[in-house]
Amino acid sequence: MLKVAIIGVGTRGVKCFGNMLKNRKDCKIAALMDTNPVRLRLAAELYDNPPTYTDLNEMLEKESLDCAIITTPDAEHESCAVTVLNHGVNVLIDKPLATSAKGCQNIIDAMKKSGKVAMMGFNLRHHPVLKKMKELIDEGVLGKIFLMENREFYDGGRTYMSRWNGRKSYSGGLWNHKGSHDFDIFNWFLNFPKPVKVAAFSGMNVFRPENIPFELEDGIPVGPRCRDCHYLKNGVCKAGFQEEFEEWGDEAVKHDGYIKDSCMYMSDLSTHDNGFAMVEYENGARVSHMECFVCGMSDRIYTIAGDKATAQISLHNRSIRITDRWEKSSMTYEIADTDGGHGGADPKLLDDFLATVRGERENKSTLEQGMISTSIAEAAELSKEENRVVFLRK
Ligand SMILES: NC(=O)c1ccc[n+]([C@@H]2O[C@H](COP(=O)([O-])OP(=O)(O)OC[C@H]3O[C@@H](n4cnc5c(N)ncnc54)[C@H](O)[C@@H]3O)[C@@H](O)[C@H]2O)c1
């Protein structure tokens, strides 16, 4: 029975990891840690009240833990992961590893000193469609891959634009927070060649005060929170949160002022709502990742070109279509749904981590790989800010 702690009991910590751990027979939630005591208390009630802590060092000193799962906002990953590893505890760090390459390196240094398992939470690698695609690539079905693109559409953009995710100081920017998933899939498909050049074009075209998509009534401002907003209540605003947005309610908000439903048009966002990021690798392969947070659908759509065949993928349709270059024939794989979050990927990520901690599997989702995707994301942010191509150091 592995004793597991969750650090950061927000949406991901509870709705994903807490709920999965609760139903497993091979481990138990041994402790919870969060800087907000209200979220902590309410989360503990869901799991038969394990010990709770607002201080990470205190938890690590008092509890004898096998592993910890870090699901704090991205900017806190570095200090939490270093502290956990310095206490000799195995750790799963949800993506992205950190908000800078330097931060990633600090975690890697702590991991090396500790000799413990430290794994990246790259759940997309466990998505059945992408897993199947990786198998086909490794079998050589596409031949040598030289070009890839993906287009990510995110319905409504709310999670990213209404809370910390859209603020660079918390997430390192959306190329890191969101794109680190996608850059990792490219790196994984290509078997991790070194990225050498990054260029990004991105901006905030829509979620600005001047783009509010309805007429304001005299003297009645929008927001600031969806739940208080006159225009949402009147059904004029279609963009905001219609449902419950803070799982822990106002009591938690009162404690730290962290709200999850600030108006997307009026927020002090410091990131993009759309853009392209391109990467060139030392083996000559090129990739492009598009992010669009202003749309009425959610999907990741890929094209992967190899010298033998081309693949087209839709995660939403759970399909892979391979077209042979010479025969012009096509083969379509329809991949069945599996249970669990993110298309069935989340339970497989947890299985993988626990099996690796037990020594039953090799760690194939390493911090070094996490650092590569954050380095690409950091370069994409720099490219956009400085309006130039960024060359990554060898
Ligand atoms: N892999 C995925 O598909 C996926 C999906 C969603 C989120 N995530 C990642 O999960 C993490 C959490 O995201 P979320 O949406 O659950 O955020 P959230 O805001 O809902 O929860 C974060 C929690 O961390 C707590 N916290 C803040 N600073 C802390 C600290 N220093 N120590 C301990 N707790 C602290 C907050 O009080 C909050 O309860 C992020 O890194 C995000 O990138 C990954």
Considering 55, 90, 121, which residue would you say is the last residue of a domain? 121
User: Do both 80 and 46 map to the same domain?
Assistant: yes
Residue 261 falls inside a structural domain: no
**Element spanning 254, H or E:** helix 249-256
- End position of a domain, from candidates 192, 222, 256: 256
- Tell me the CA–centroid distance for residue 332 and ligand 1, in Å: 37
Question: 286 and 369 share a domain?
Answer: yes
Q: Is 159 in the pocket of ligand 1 (CB under 6 A)?
A: no
CB count within 10 Å of CB 143 equals 14
41 and 151 in a single domain? The answer is no
- According to DSSP, residue 14 is labeled I
Please check whether residues 273 and 359 belong to one and the same domain. Answer: yes
Asked if 156 and 194 sit in the same domain, the reply is: yes
What atom in ligand 1 is closest to the CA of residue 342? Answer: 3
Per-residue pLDDT tens listing for the chain (394 residues): 999 999 999 999 999 999 999 999 999 999 999 999 999 999 999 999 999 999 999 999 999 999 999 999 999 999 999 999 999 999 999 999 999 999 999 999 999 999 999 999 999 999 999 999 999 999 999 999 999 999 999 987 788 888 899 899 999 999 999 999 999 999 999 999 999 999 999 999 999 999 999 999 998 999 888 888 999 999 999 887 776 666 677 888 888 888 888 899 988 888 899 999 999 999 999 999 999 999 989 999 999 999 999 999 999 999 999 999 998 899 999 999 888 999 899 999 999 999 999 999 999 999 999 999 999 999 999 999 999 999 998 6
187 and 315 part of one domain: yes
Query: In which domain, by residue range, is 243 found?
Result: 209-256
Tally of domains in the chain: 3
379 is a domain residue: yes
User: Looking at the chain, which runs of residues are DSSP E strands?
Assistant: 2-7, 27-33, 52-53, 67-70, 90-94, 118-121, 145-153, 195-203, 274-281, 286-292, 299-306, 309-314, 319-324, 330-334, 390-391
Does a structural domain hold residue 359? yes
Same domain, 188 and 223: no
Residue 100 CA to ligand 1 centre (angstroms):
17
What's the CA-to-centroid distance between 165 and ligand 1, angstroms? 9
Q: Is there a single domain that holds both residue 201 and residue 227?
A: no
Beta strand spans in 14-139 (E) = 27-33, 52-53, 67-70, 90-94, 118-121
Q: Is 368 found in the same domain as 227?
A: no
